[in-house]
Amino acid sequence: MAKKTVLITGGASGIGLLCGQCYAREGAQVVLVDFNREALDAAVAEIAAYPADVLGVCIDIRDYDKVCEARDAAVDRFGSIDILINCAGGAETRILGIKEEFKDAPISVYDFGIDVNLKGALYFDHAVMAQMAKQMSGVIIHMGSITGAEGCAHNIAYSASKSALMNGMTISMAQYGAKYNVRCVCIAPGPVLTRPAMAKMETMVGRAAEPQEIVDMIMYAASDKGAFINGTTILIDGGRNAMRRVK
């Protein structure tokens, strides 16, 4: 990964931050994108101390013009974007603190869910593909979720967005990117211990994933060792999805 440029949305916390740390240790140039300025500054300072070459860009991924500014800042600083990891997102009712059920919650809650989890990734795919096409190389990683496969009655926009990423969008981006030597892969975790509540979700192996297990798969799929992986979703869920077939 030496001198590769990796742009990570949602890079100030969770899986995104861990990706940034791991790529920095491998010698990559890291661009962290997040809307939380305080958390972003702390993440940049931590990674810079490795030492590593890191850039933080504070934007709202729902604003396409700002997304383009983030892309341009990365290219201006490092000259390329070799890997895009779309980590930004989350369950809309949890993020917004909504307790009401679907029919009673404001529709703005679900607009937010679609905008952050689906349109934010689409915006970055679109903006960064322009750079990757110039380079004639690149890898785009989408972050799916077991929720995209099994559904969620409380976070319907999140489930719908992740399903779209895992199916139509990853496949379509791979089809489009092929002529530019750009791959697209979706990594879809089951429960991950980025939050304690995830430990309560049932899996065949009897536990939730450690965050590092998810990041290891992301890094493999985006590396040269994963060069034959394209247009598909890798479900890394401890067998949770398979459990539905035996109940």
Continuous H helices in 87-137: 92-96, 107-114, 120-135
Tokens of 149: 């496969």
- The Cα-based distances of 16 to 6, 84, 87, 150 in angstroms read 11, 11, 6, 23
Residue type, 110: Y
> Which has the closest alpha carbon to 29: 57, 45, 52, 10?
52
Residue type, 131: Q
158 in catalytic set: yes
Give the count of beta carbons closer than 10 Å to the beta carbon of residue 96.
Answer: 14
Q: Cα(12)–Cα(43) distance, rounded to whole angstroms?
A: 6
Catalytic option among 110, 158, 176, 180:
158
Task: Give catalytic residues, as residue numbers.
Answer: 158
